[in-house]
Structure 1
Amino acid sequence: MSGQPAETLSPVLPHDVEDAAVALLTAACTARAKLVTAESCTGGLLASLLTDIEGASHAFERGFAVYSEESKCELLGIRREELDRCGAVSKEVAIAMAQGAITHSLGDVALAVTGYAGGAPEGQEAGLVHFACARRGGSTVHRVEHFGDIGRGPVRINSLRVALDMMRQALDEL
C-alpha cells in the first residue's frame, strides 16, 4: 500500500480524516482484514474515501449505500417491523445494519451509520447520528453522537471521523 492521500476527495477533506483513513487501511492490510460499510446519512462517503486511497483496494470488500428504508430491508435484511417500531435513525437499526452488512458480505469488520445529517423531521434532533461496528464472529459496538444543527457537510465529516475510529478499534480487537 502506498499510503497516498485520498486522490478524489483530498481537496475537501480535513487532513486528520485522510490520515485516519490511511491508518485504518494500513491496519486492515496488515491484519489481512476486509472492511465493509453500510451507510445512510453519509450516502457512501465513507466507502468513497476508503476506495480513493491508492493501493488498498484489497482491504475494502464492499459498501452498501442504503439511504431508503426499502434498501435497508432489501440489501441488509432488516425487518420492516423493526424499522417501523424503532425508526431508521436508532440504535437498533444501526446495529441491524452493521450485522446485516457482515451477513451479506465477505467482510471482517462492518461499520454502519444512520442519522440526520441535515434538517431533521419535526420532533427529531438535527445532527443525531447512530453508528454500529460489527466484527465477524464477534461483538457489535454502538455509539451515538449529537453533533447538533451544524449543517449537512460538517455532520458528514464528523461522522467519517467517528466511523474510521470505530473501525480501527474493531480491527485492533481481531
Structure 2
Amino acid sequence: MLNTGTELLLGNTLNTHGAWFGRELFKLGLRITRQTTVPDGDAIREALEESVSRADAVIVTGGLGPTSDDLTREITAEVLGIELITDEAALRSLEAFFAVRGLKMAPSNLKQALVPVGADVLPNPNGTAPGVYVPPRLNGRANCAVFLLPGPPRELYPMFHDEVVPKLKALSGIESFPPALELKFTGVGESDFHQQIDAQLAAVPGLEYGYCAHVGEVDLRLIGEEDAVRSGRQIALDAFASKLVSDDGSSLERVVVRLLTERNIKLATAESCTGGLIANRITNVPGSSAVFTHGFVTYANEAKVDLLGVSETDLEQHGAVSEPVARQMAEGALRVSGADIAVSITGIAGPSGGSEEKPVGTAWIGLAMKDRPTLAIKVYHPRKRKDFKQAASQSALDWVRRRLAE
C-alpha cells in the first residue's frame, strides 16, 4: 500500500485507508506486507521504485487529481518506463461528468485522462479522477501489478470493490484460504492473555494468533486450519469464557442490542459522567430503535432530582458519585421510561474533582430491572477524561450484557 498526500503527514486528514484495505484484502485471502505514506511530489518516485521491486501488487492511493501536486500518474509512468497518452474513453467520461452538472471543465482536468499505454482505465462514477490498472506484463521493472486509485473514500472504496477486487482475484488465483476468527473480550487485560494462555496457543500446530488491545477490550485473532482455530478458541474460552463479548467480531453494543432484541426487552439509560456515550453507542447499532426507549443525561444534580427523582438528601450526604445515587438514577430511568431494564452511571472523569475517598476515575453503575432488586457496582478507571468515559461506558454495557445473558 502506498498512500500519497502531504495532508496525511501534516495530520490535516486522517489516513483511514490502511485499516480499511487491511480488512477488505484479508477477505480475499491477501495481506498487506507494508504500508507507506509519502507526501505529494518526488517522494512518490522513490517509494514506488522500492515497492514494485519487492511486491506482487502495489495499490497507490491519491494524487490523481487535476492540480499541480497531483503527480502519481506521471511518476508511475516514468518509473515503469511507459508512455502516457490521452485515453479517449476517459476523456469522454470527464466531459460528461461536468456536462451533467452544468459546469465548465477547466483545462487542468485534461491530465486526468492521461493513461500509461496498454493500461486499463478504472471508471469512477463518483468523481473526475479515473483509476488506472497497470498489469504485470507492462511493468518494465518487475513482475508487479500496479493499481492507481483516487484518494477520497467516496470514490476509492466503490472503485476498489467494482474494479480492483476482480483483478486481484484473477492475479492471486486464491480460491480458498485458512479461516480466521476474532474473539472480543472485555474486563481482562492483554497481559492476562499472555500470562495465562500464550504458551498454550503457541503449542497449537498451524495456528497464527495475535492480540489487539483497545480501551476496555482485547481482541484475540486466530488464523489457521479449522482444527487449529477451534483449539485456539477453546483455550481462550477455558480461561476467559465469562469475559467473552463475541466470537464473530461484533462490538459490545451490537451484542447488547442483539440480546435485547432476542429477549424482547426494552432498555433505558441514565448517564452523568459519560455524557450520553452509552446511549450513543447503543443507537449507533442498526435496529436499536426497537429496543432502546430513553437516554437521560443528568449531568447536574438538579437534573438527577428533577428528571429521575434522586433524593436531594442522599446527594448531600453521599455525593453524586455514590451507590445510593447510582441506584436511584437507574430506578428513576426505569420508572419514567417504562423500559424493562435501565442502566445508570455516575463518576469522576477528572482531571479535577477527585478526593482521597473518591479518586478521579471512580464511577458507580446502577442496574434496575422490573421485579428484580436494583444492583450497583463501583468501578475504577484511572485514565484521561476521554478514555475514562469509554472505559466506564464499556463497564456499564458489559454489565447489561451479562445480566441479559443470565
> What range describes the TM-score normalised by the shorter chain of this pair?
0.7 to 0.9
Between 135-144 and 83-92, the greater mean CA deviation after superposition: 135-144
Mapping of residues 23-38 of structure 1, within 5 Å: 23-38=255-270
Displacement of 1:119 in angstroms is 2.0
For the 8 Å contact 1:39–1:67, the answer to whether it is kept is yes
| 1:127-151 per-position Cα deviation (integer Å, ceiling 9, x unaligned) | 0011011111112221111212x21
Write the distance in 1 (CA, Å) between the matches of 2:255 and 2:374. Answer: 22
Which AA in structure 2 matches 1:161?
Q
Q: Which residue of 2 aligns with 1:156?
A: 389
Which AA in structure 2 matches 1:31?
R
Residue 172 (str. 1) matches residue 405 (str. 2): yes
Look up the SS of the partner of 1:111 in the other structure. strand
Shift of the 14–82 alpha-carbon distance from structure 1 to 2, 3 Å rule, reads: closer
Residue 40 (str. 1) matches residue 272 (str. 2): yes
Mapping of residues 90-129 of structure 1, within 5 Å: 90-121=322-353, 123=355, 124-129=358-363
For the 8 Å contact 2:215–2:391, the answer to whether it is kept is no
Look up the SS of the partner of 2:293 in the other structure. strand
Shift of the 97–19 alpha-carbon distance from structure 1 to 2, 3 Å rule, reads: same
Displacement of 1:14 in angstroms is 6.5
Residue 138 (str. 1) matches residue 372 (str. 2): yes
Shift of the 23–85 alpha-carbon distance from structure 1 to 2, 3 Å rule, reads: same
For the 8 Å contact 1:133–1:170, the answer to whether it is kept is no
TM-score (structure 2 length as normaliser): 0.38
Write the distance in 1 (CA, Å) between the matches of 2:354 and 2:260. Answer: 40
Write the distance in 2 (CA, Å) between the matches of 1:39 and 1:45. Answer: 8
Which AA in structure 1 matches 2:316?
D
Write the distance in 2 (CA, Å) between the matches of 1:137 and 1:83. Answer: 26
Displacement of 1:15 in angstroms is 10
Mapping of residues 47-58 of structure 1, within 5 Å: 47-58=279-290
How well do the aligned residues superpose, as a CA RMSD in angstroms?
1.9
Structure 2 alignment gaps of length 5 or more:
1-213, 218-244
Displacement of 1:105 in angstroms is 1.1
Write the distance in 2 (CA, Å) between the matches of 1:97 and 1:15. Answer: 24
Runs of 4+ in 1 over 3 A off after TM superposition: 13-18
